[in-house]
């Protein structure tokens, strides 16, 4: 199974939380192809830097554990359209989430997240409450 891991899931994994254990099971299953958006890499590095943690070791782990999905002009355009559509219904839906959904669709991948904005969405493995 192809899985795009979003920043919520990566952070839970890195912190070793209960939700992170669920992420670990998916990450370590060799039958799965683990993907990560380049935008997610930025989100994680930013969060770790803001909390004064060493982002370098986590960056290296991301690179080793997943294939990083690049963002091109077509992904950017489609994510922008998706963001506009969803924002009409969900006022605080993030642009990064629209990128993850767009890349997931393009790759034929499931999205692994605990972000409340993904709850109940098609092709999402939800690890939240």
Residue-number span of the structural domain to which 118 is assigned: 2-126
Q: In tens digits, what is the pLDDT along the chain, a chain of 129 residues?
A: 999 999 999 999 999 999 999 999 999 999 999 999 999 999 999 988 998 888 899 999 999 999 999 999 999 999 999 999 999 999 899 999 999 999 999 999 999 999 999 999 999 999 977
Domain count, the chain: 1
* Per-residue model confidence (pLDDT) at position 54: 83
Given its phi and psi angles, is residue 123 left (phi above 0), alpha (psi -120 to 50 degrees) or beta?
left
How far from each other are the two terminal CA atoms of the chain, in whole angstroms? 23
CA distance 33 to 94: 25
Give CA torsion, residues 25, 121, 59, 29, to 10 deg.
Answer: 20
The CATH number linked to 122 is 3.40.50.1010
Q: Is the pTM of this model over 0.85?
A: yes
Indicate the helix (H) or strand (E) that contains 36: strand 33-37
φ, ψ for residue 128, nearest 5 deg = -80, -170
* Per-residue model confidence (pLDDT) at position 107: 97
């Amino acid at each position: 199974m192809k899985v795009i891991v979003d920043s919520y899931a990566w952070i839970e994994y890195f912190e070793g939380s209960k939700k992170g254990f669920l992420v670990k099971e998916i990450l370590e299953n060799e039958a799965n192809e683990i993907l990560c958006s380049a935008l997610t890499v930025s989100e994680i590095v930013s969060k770790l830097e803001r909390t004064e943690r060493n982002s370098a070791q986590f960056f290296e782990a991301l690179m080793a554990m997943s294939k990083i999905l690049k963002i091109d002009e077509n992904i950017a355009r489609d994510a922008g359209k998706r963001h506009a559509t969803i924002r009409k219904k969900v006022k605080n839906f993030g642009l990064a989430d629209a990128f993850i959904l767009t890349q997931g669709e393009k790759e034929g991948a499931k999205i692994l997240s605990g972000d409340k904005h993904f709850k109940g969405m098609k092709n999402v493995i939800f690890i939240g409450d």
